[in-house]
Structure 1
């Protein structure tokens, strides 16, 4: 459950050239000094904090930071990502330059990056690297061959009619099991295929045209490409019809259906799953998890009713769509961006190729790159300070649980058992990933991208039937984000986010508890949101609440749903309170915990929380500094297309509501700014869970 939203279209690499190609270490250090967790110059002091606290905190930043042409949105997180990217670029350019002093990992990341950045070589190769894959699909002469073909495609990272990987057993968190899931399609979510409004209908037409243009670039005639575009949309629409929505997938109980392979095959006899697994060299499995059995019943119907040529057109499209566009010739790369970047997200220009190649290297060799990054950018002092913050906020949550009036003693005891079992992962993994079996060939961009994905696919499926590795991370060290994993019961803070503007050791405790503390509290609260609360201290999907307490929790959660349902994000689109519920609970609970921890720290240090600060802190009291630092961590400008996409797909609320939607529920905020009941930021009725 990431703290920040991640890319909706994960396969897209966006690219333009606004930042100088060369930047030395001193340049990056100077740039970092310009980022502060709290900066009065970013405020709009003409705004009333009791009317619109987001505008008060971020109004200055919004005016000073128009969205660059190569971004669909731009926020304080983007500022830090850009700085991180420059650091990574410097590391990669040095590694790419060669020299006898390079380690094996440095050689890999250097060769990968140097090959990725060479656009001329990619264009000269043209479609040749892709052609054997297209030929293999073209050679399919019977539906009986689908299991072997889809197994091969899955083995190199091309999902087709369904997803397959390993996962922790929801009810035995010590073991990894095989798991089948619904297909990931070309449009972001099920609703894009069945909504009837004009914008959705137009987008489907644009998608169909994009698919057709892609087929033309592969060499098809205009007429055949148009026909295949129709076919792809029809097949995907049928698959979407049987899929769950993003809201439905938020319920872990709805995604756990453990069964034998024989029982699974009997529900979808038109596809030989046993043959599929053998083709992937999966050892015999006693049981597996099927996240959505109804999807596979529907898939069985689709396979029966769709002719072979149509299925092959769909597979060709899957093969191209799920090949990183940066490894394809320029015409295909630009066509991909024109739909997924320009149309879907409103982004006018691609990002420069070097930015995209940095991102690709981090995605495919993230811990090899991260090992060098951490050595340069993350100190033991940074780690220790984060540990202290985390312990303070965990202690605050323990006190908060004790004081909850609505929760019974029995549930409180189990909640504290879970809290005390949370594992804290800070900065980077204790054991680095071994990439020795991943072949990186300088000059083979397509092959490197394909082998990297295949490496990860095999790494995941090789876990099946084995004990869970609780030391593994789900994000790379340079990532500007954080997450909680309910099956691991751990909170994870990569080194990338533990720097200004999210963590700023140069500024006072009030500031750091408001931003970094809010991040930590957010992830900790995820263990007790509407999803996380269904997992016990060991990470098992298990009921540990009394029925009465569960009912009281749901009533309080419904208050949060209704509040966020009322926010209008763009045009006529409201925030989806059910889709964003978990993140909203985490935002609200996290900031409350951070404030409790800050007050405790201030009391122990003898800080006068009513005394106004100096000019560096805008004359704000420590309490006010806490809240403004929180507000400024969310400053962001968004394009309307991107907002529309987010509201329909993203479990995170838009930034304005991640600020205002939280502070309206905190009497501590209203006291800090002397807000009167009835003002917009001080409603008479508030939502409270944790």
Structure 2
């Protein structure tokens, strides 16, 4: 059992002295530069390695905390947010709130997680309902009913489903079915003979043994079951689409009826499954995202003994619930998923994990308090001005493109003018009145929370899309573009240094949060976002000639990023990261244009010896200051559509002409890329 998470498609969402940089301009010191010079390594010239020049001292001296897989601008702010949320949770927990109120629910959920004595005493007992159902599987119908029940509880099974706006009818919701079923992060962990992945696979098999022995199985039986579970998951991995294939939304949009799905996977009783999940009353048609997977899954379903499925389901029920069980199970989960797969040395403090869980379940309830306590209205006003300038800059860049014809430009302008912008927090908060939270019943609370979210998701199928809904809480340090809503969203928590500094001159803010804004706008025009029109519908609005030119440019960006080595012997996947790389490069270029517009023809001030252009690019690079453990880097290279932070902070600059002028980068410098190889799209 896991806490309910949205479908992955929903997320379909940074040795020269300074004096030598400056030119003769008026010095203004009313606002700070916003540049963290204490982190510089001035022994490394900006022309040779700008990322090290700006962040080198920090990189050389900062240690990743033992309980973290990475450390940098994002994670530091997230840790700060966790502390702020902890203060809120503690305050609410101590309040004499009425039973059933949001305040009482927050306090009770947090207390149920922190009550380790009760959790250790109960052991595996809270999972008795799920384990008894698995033990009671006698035939295919029983198996189907258990999978249906586990769908509501977000237990790992060979497939899952979610409700999001229809990709071609964005004002309506649709049901999407997709592949699932693995306990390791990606199919490559099962299929590649690479030494690091092989070791992770071996550790996973031993982890399965550990979990099953903790659940009462003998060592011999646990080892036998672990081998069968690993073999089953390997078979599932072989038929799964890889992450590059999963970026092709056109191929993933396949409308099915229940009858057609039964023909695609006849070994599974879809009629019983739909009835047990109440989907039969909600969706006459739905979307199957990976057709070949569901077709090939038929062989696995028909050839795998029920006893193997029982072992598989038992392990995944316990494995998904382990962080919320006794200490022994929580430790086993940490050893596999944090220590082995992400390189983390020690578990996070329990109060941090408790805050994370409470935030996941009751995020908007905490968000209301967070906004009132930590978000100043002036930030929203200044952000609105930044967004306006970024939108104007993007509009001007569109008009000046030399590779796009008038017909396509008109459609692009129409889409841009229809962008929705959300800043800070939602106008309407989630109603948690139907969610029951009890003290001393952690697994029960999570079970009810999953049921609560399941009902919300199913309820969407009968209603039009709510354009006011947010897919991140205000306390989330991130931002996103939603193609079906054609909207860009900036939660309150990202609007702080080093991304957004109210006390800093505009240059560094445009280089940091401005580039984040530009990044999200550019997602509307990356290789996937450009498939959606102004209303958020997947529709081709390109002429054939312009689409061809666009693909030539994106191909060049793929090749450029394929050459970047993130770990010895491991390179960035330029196809997997294409959308984010387009957004990074275009977003930074548009942010620079917006910064120039903000000056209104006046010269930028020199602050701390740096010109405005120099501070702009420093703002960008210091925002991507980060150290990442190699185990996590490997995992992200396989699964994450973003390039690693150091590459984002360095490589993006190579395609920016004004960067060369700002720092006098010339041929022969390591930061130099031949002009004809610089990729410029938007």
Same-fold call, TM > 0.5? yes
CA displacement at 1:133 relative to structure 2: 1.1
Shift of 1:466: 2.5
Deviation for aligned residue 1:142: 0.6
Structure 1 CA distance, aligned partners of 2:164 and 2:620?
Answer: 35
Q: 1:516 matched to which residue of 2? A: 513
**Which residue in the other structure is 2:176 paired with?**
179
> 1:139-288 alignment to 2 at 5 Å?
139-282=136-279, 283=281, 285-288=283-286
Name which of 606, 620, 637 aligns with 2:610: 620
C-alpha displacement of 1:677: 2.8
- Indicate how the Cα distance of structure 1 residues 101 and 467 shifts in structure 2: closer, same or farther if over 3 A, else same: closer
> Match of 2:300?
302
Contact conserved, 1:36 with 1:504, CA < 8 A, in 2? no
> What is the match of residue 679 of structure 2?
687
Deviates more, 1:167-176 or 1:593-602: 167-176
Match of 1:667 among 640, 657, 661: 657
Query: Which residue is equivalent to 1:589?
Result: 586
CA distance in 2, matches of 1:472, 1:274: 32
Alignment-derived partner of residue 16 in structure 1: none
Q: What does the per-residue CA deviation read over 1:459-508, in whole Å, with 9 as the maximum and x for residues that have no partner?
A: 11221243111111111110001111111111111111111121101000
Alpha-carbon distance in structure 2 between the residues aligned to 1:214 and 1:419? 51
Listed as ranges, the matches of 1:105-116 within 5 Å are: 105-116=102-113
CA change 1:304–1:102 in 2 (3 A) is closer
**Residues 36 and 500, structure 1, Cα contact 8 Å, conserved in 2:** no
State the 1:153 CA deviation: 0.9
CA contact (8 A) 1:246 1:649 kept: yes
Unaligned 5+ segments in structure 2 are 1-5, 9-31
For 1:125 and 1:102, the matched residues in 2 are separated by 25
Matches within 5 A, 1:410-425: 410-425=407-422
Q: Is the 8 A contact 1:190 1:243 kept in 2?
A: yes
Alignment pair present for 1:122 and 2:119: yes
Contact 1:36–1:501, Cα closer than 8 Å, also in 2:
no
Partner of 1:44: 41
Residue in structure 1 matching 2:636, options 643, 646, 666:
646
Moved more, 465-474 or 426-435: 465-474
User: 2:24 aligns to what?
Assistant: none
Other-structure match for 2:648: 658
Deviation at 1:603, TM superposition (A): 2.7
Conserved? CA contact 2:98–2:104, under 8 Å: no
Q: SS where residue 539 of structure 1 aligns? A: coil
Report the CA distance shift for 1:383/1:310 in structure 2 as closer, same or farther (over 3 A): same
Counterpart for residue 504 of structure 1:
501
1:312 is aligned to 310
SS of 1:254's partner is coil
CA–CA distance in structure 2, aligned partners of residues 571 and 284 of structure 1? 50
Q: What residue in structure 1 maps to residue 393 of structure 2?
A: 396
SS of corresponding position for 1:163:
strand
- Kindly indicate whether residue 558 of structure 2 is the aligned counterpart of residue 554 of structure 1: no
Kept in 1, the 8 Å contact 2:654–2:672? The answer is yes
SS in 2 for 1:365: helix
Aligned in 2, Cα 1:102/1:457: closer, same or farther, shift over 3 Å? Answer: closer
Equivalent residue of 2:67, what SS?
coil
Q: Aligned pair 1:433/2:430, yes or no?
A: yes
Note the C-alpha offset of 1:37.
4.7
Aligned to 1:13: none
Once the two structures are superposed, what CA deviation does each residue of 1:215-266 show, in whole Å capped at 9, x if it has no partner?
Answer: 0000000011001111111111111111111111011112110121111111
1:182-222 deviation digits (Å, cap 9, x = unpaired): 11411111111111222222221111110111000000000
The reply on whether 1:351 has 2:343 as its aligned counterpart is no
CA distance in 1, matches of 2:110, 2:511: 37
What is the alpha-carbon distance in structure 2 between the residues aligned to residue 179 and residue 79 of structure 1?
35
| 1:102 shift after superposition | 9.3
2:477 pairs with one of 475, 480, 484? 480
Q: Normalised by the size of structure 2, how large is the TM-score?
A: 0.93
Give 1:75's match in structure 2, choosing from 54, 72, 75. 72
Cα distance in 2, alignment partners of residues 245 and 396 from structure 1: 36
Contact 1:95 1:102 in 2 (8 A): no
Contact 1:37–1:632 (CA<8 Å) still a contact in 2?
A: no
Counterpart in the other structure of 1:20: none
C-alpha displacement of 1:120: 1.9
- Could you tell me whether the CA contact under 8 Å between 1:76 and 1:633 is conserved in 2? yes
Q: Secondary structure at the match of 1:180?
A: strand
User: How many aligned residue pairs are there?
Assistant: 650
Counterparts of 1:165 and 1:86, CA distance in 2: 32
> What secondary structure is seen at the aligned counterpart in 1 of 2:522?
helix
Counterpart-to-counterpart distance in 2, 1:644 and 1:183: 21
The equivalent of 1:449 in structure 2 is 446
Task: Check 1:321–1:103 CA distance in 2 against 1; reply closer, same or farther (3 A cut).
Answer: closer
Instruction: Structure 1: give runs of 5+ residues left out of the alignment.
Output: 1-5, 9-34
Contact 1:37 1:515 in 2 (8 A): no
